[in-house]
Structure formats: structure tokens, C-alpha cells
Structure 1
Amino acid sequence: MVDPVSSADRVRTLRWVKLGTVLLVGLSAGLISVQGGATIGLIAGSVLSGLFIGGALVWYLFPDADSIAPAARGREDR
């Protein structure tokens, strides 16, 4: 039988998903700028803006780990 996912594992996985999402948004903004033929300064600005927007999206869209599986709370001590 498989044990339930621990709260620490859930928090760690969600942290990696959030970080990956922020990096995906930031780097995609930079790649679009490169494809458009922007200068180095504009590319760096695009990446920084994309990272900021990605952080705002993660803050708004992703819940905390306890909100994802609230039924799993309290069962870790078994």
C-alpha cells in the first residue's frame, strides 16, 4: 500500500512548481525579445519584467500546499 504524501513533500513540490512557472514566464519573455531582434538591454528588461509578472501570477494563481489537499491534514501521525 502507498503512504499518503507528507505535508513536507507537498510543500517542496509546490515550491518547485512555483519556481518553474516564474522562470518559464521570465525566460519566455526574453526569448520573444530575442526573436524580435531587441538589444541586450531590452532583452534583460524583458526577462526582469517577465520574472516580475511570473511572480505575480504565481502569487495569484497558486494556493498554498494545505489548500490543495486539505483532507490529508491530520493523517500523517498514523
Structure 2
Amino acid sequence: MVGSSLSDTEKQTANTRLKIGFVLLVAASMTLMALQVDPTPLQLAAVFGIGIGIGALLLWFVLRNLREYRTTLKNR
């Protein structure tokens, strides 16, 4: 059987990049939506900051549920 071609360090780096990308995607999406109402630069910065917080919360929620789902599958 063929194993993974990535080392543990490379897997950790890839996972970290995916997490950061997910959070930035949520923040950028919120910022682009805010552009529709002609905000000031300060308001845009605030929306981006709030988007980072919401993205981090969504990431935590998804990872927590994924962890619970995996343990449910292992117990079968």
C-alpha cells in the first residue's frame, strides 16, 4: 500500500494554510458585500475585522463538528 507523499510537517503547513484561507475567504466575502452600500474606509476595515472573527468562529464550529463526526464513525 502506498502512503502519503507528504511529511507530517508538510501536512501541518497545508492544514494551517487551508484554515487561514478559509478565514480570509469569509472576511473578504463580507468586505465585498459591504462595498455594495458605499462604506467609508474605516467601515470597510471594521467589516474585514469582524469578518475575520466570524470566519474564526465558523472554522471552530466546522472543526468541532468534524471531530465529533469522526469519533462517531470510529465507534461503529
| TM-score using structure 2 length | 0.69
**Structure 1 segment 2-41 matched on structure 2, within 5 A:** 3-4=3-4, 5-41=6-42
| Residue type at the aligned position of 2:14 | T
CA distance in 2, matches of 1:42, 1:34: 10
For residue 38 of structure 1, give the secondary structure of its aligned residue in structure 2: coil
Kindly state the Cα deviation for residue 20 of structure 1 after the two structures are TM-superposed.
0.3
Q: Structure 2: which 5+ runs fail to align?
A: 68-76
Unaligned runs of 5+ in 1: 68-78
User: After TM superposition, which residue ranges in structure 1, 4 or more long, deviate above 6 angstroms?
Assistant: none
Equivalent pairs: percent with the same residue? Answer: 30
Superposed CA RMSD in Å reads 2.0
Kindly tell me the number of residue pairs found equivalent between the two proteins: 64
Q: Which of the two has greater helix per residue?
A: 2
